[in-house]
Amino acid sequence: MTTAHPTDLTGLLAHSRTLITGLQTASGAYPASPTFSAYRGYCWFRDGSFIADGVSVAGDADSATRFFDWCARVIADNRRQIDKVVTAAAHGSPLPDADMLPARFTVDGQPGDDEWWDFQLDGYGTWLWAVVEHARRHRIGVSRWADAISATVDYLVSSWRRPCFDWWEEHSEAVHISTLGCIKAGLDAALGTGLLDAAQADRAHRASRDIAGLITTGGVADGHLTKWIGSPQLDGSLSALLAPLGVINPASALGRGTIAAIDAQLVADGGVYRFRADTFFGGGRWPLLTCFLGLAKLAAGDPDGARACLDWAASTATSGGDLPEQVDGGRLLDPAAKQQWIDRWGTVATPLLWSHAMLLRLAADLGVTGVAA
Ligand code: BGC
């Protein structure tokens, strides 16, 4: 990368844009992290969609468009498998998890040879949400992605009730509230395009309505959203349902209760943990989750709280301006668990493109100079 070393927030935001667009491959994919052993060469639908959203908001529309074109090609290449999934589900004999679409693909759009915790549904909802938002923001005809949007809607409508791995690629036995939120946001976005025919729109509408019902009946405890159906635990990813996904009104009692619970249980010294029992790299605080909390706070009418989140996330940058996946800072939840991950995969993923993207998104929403609002 030939970017200047950022000495301030404006420089860090410029570096973030250059880093992301510079690392985007010719195929349009965003590698999750260029150097981290376990992620190298792979692009996640989850990370990639939020990365595209960040650069779209920051003004790099062409980069985001190229990413969504990559998504559409991947969906097209997997269309037959999607049809099998949908048909099997309709006949009451759903395909096994191993036959569902993976969470990540190589940058060339292939499944790759490495073992992974692959069955995750959230990224397919998130790409729908992000591509529709991007098209609206930049007045791009969304019909360019019509076939892929339609196929993704079919896939999600057929399978949204299934337990699968969550944002953290854990607990495949559970139905996760963050995953449901991403799916609902995606279905609602697709419905808003007018691209779905009446029957498909009806199916998507009913799935969205049922997801909303399930979240509010099975995904709430003590006035806040929970990690999965039937669990009273929290998860840092839940902020995303308030903003930017807008599945839960940030100013509602549930929205405010979720922010307050995350603040009380998952924040230390300004940074947000994934969940209390986290042991990954010892369980540090994540800049990207801190930005999600900032977005939720801003949407709930607390710009000062949001700004504090932005500043904390920015403070985690290395001297070269790279943002990590997580930081230790002497505040790990389980310090003894750290070394085993270093032995397995090397030091914490840095830079993580998703971290940079969330900084861009929060800065833009806060109207910080240097990033298009
Ligand atoms: C995280 C995922 C993320 C992946 C790539 C994993 O450690 O749990 O959320 O998609 O890294 O960044």
Contact, 2 vs 335, CB < 8 A? no
Residue 373: which pLDDT band, with cuts at 50, 70 and 90? very low
Residue type, 84: K
What DSSP element (H or E) covers 106?
strand 104-106
**How many Å lie between the centroid of ligand 1 and the Cα of residue 148?**
24
Alpha carbon nearest to ligand 1 atom 6, residue: 168
Residue 7: which pLDDT band, with cuts at 50, 70 and 90? low
- Listed residue (56, 70, 46, 71) closest to 21, CA to CA: 56
At residue 302, the pLDDT reads 98
Residue pLDDT, tens place only, 119-156: 999 999 999 999 999 999 999 999 999 999 999 999 99
Any atom of ligand 1 within 6 Å of the Cβ of 42: no
Provide the CA 356 distance to its chain's centre, in angstroms: 13
- Fold topology of 7-366: Glycosyltransferase (1.50.10)
pLDDT at 27 over 60: yes
For a substitution probing ligand 1, which of 35, 104, 106, 169 has the most ligand atoms within 8 Å of its CB?
A: 169
At residue 370, the pLDDT reads 65
- Listed residue (301, 308, 294, 287) closest to 357, CA to CA: 287
At residue 104, the pLDDT reads 98
pLDDT at 117 over 70: yes
Write out the catalytic residue numbers.
166, 169, 325
Alpha carbon nearest to ligand 1 atom 1, residue: 168
The minimum-distance atom of ligand 1 relative to the CA of 168 is 8
Any atom of ligand 1 within 6 Å of the Cβ of 60: no
**How many Å lie between the centroid of ligand 1 and the Cα of residue 198?**
36
DSSP 205-249: HHHHHHHHHHHHHHSEETTEE-SBTT-----GGGHHHHTTS-SS-
Residue pLDDT, tens place only, 292-338: 999 999 999 999 999 999 999 999 999 999 999 999 999 999 999 99
Mean pLDDT of 253-261: 98
Mean predicted lDDT score pLDDT of the chain: 96
Any atom of ligand 1 within 6 Å of the Cβ of 235: no
Of 3-7, 100-104, 305-309, least confident by mean pLDDT is 3-7
Residue 2: which pLDDT band, with cuts at 50, 70 and 90? very low
Any atom of ligand 1 within 6 Å of the Cβ of 32: yes
The minimum-distance atom of ligand 1 relative to the CA of 354 is 12
- Residue ranges per structural domain of the chain: 7-366
Residue pLDDT, tens place only, 159-216: 999 999 999 999 999 999 999 999 999 999 999 999 999 999 999 999 999 999 999 9
Any atom of ligand 1 within 6 Å of the Cβ of 44: yes
**How many Å lie between the centroid of ligand 1 and the Cα of residue 210?**
28
Any atom of ligand 1 within 6 Å of the Cβ of 46: yes
The minimum-distance atom of ligand 1 relative to the CA of 44 is 10
pLDDT at 58 over 70: yes
Any atom of ligand 1 within 6 Å of the Cβ of 167: yes
3-state secondary structure of 280: helix
Contact, 231 vs 248, CB < 8 A? no
Residue pLDDT, tens place only, 270-298: 999 999 999 999 999 999 999 999 999 99
At residue 1, the pLDDT reads 41
| Residue 347 φ then ψ, to 5° | -70, 165
